[in-house]
Amino acid sequence: MSPVGAEGAGPVGVVLVSHSAAVAAAVAELALGLAGGGEGPPPVLPAGGTPDGGLGTSSELIGAAARAVDRGAGVALLVDLGSAVLTVKAMLVEGDELPGNSRLVDAPFVEGAVAAVVTASAGGDLDAVVAAASEAYSYRKA
């Protein structure tokens, strides 16, 4: 596993999938704001809510965001709740709705998003981004 993205590829992209457009956008803003430095901000997009602005998840919005952030080094998808997991899993199985190098990340939504974006901004490859986000489960708060 190389600590940097694939040669010739851009940074790993990150998609934040929430049932709420506002939550997804706020977590994206927070993660990008905390990432600072590194090789510059990686492509990060929220994919929250439904196309009509309601609560829920949309494979259309998720797919569009994943394609938009894909620079060839992979796309990490972080999700907030159960049905978002099911939506992304179904999209991965379908095989044509997400870039081929997309991966669902098992991580807490906020802490995992920050870890993923910080690692991607430092030039980490997809494996490193996924590992950093997943390790956020072990962050202690007390």
Tens of pLDDT along 87-120?
999 999 998 999 999 999 999 999 999 999 999 9
Q: Give the C-alpha distances (Å, rounded to integers) separating 72 from 21, 25, 65, 125, 131.
A: 26, 23, 14, 11, 19
Tens of pLDDT along 6-28?
555 889 999 999 999 999 999 99
Tens of pLDDT along 58-76?
999 999 999 999 999 999 9
**Cβ distance 38 to 123 under 8 Å?**
yes
**pTM, full prediction:** 0.92
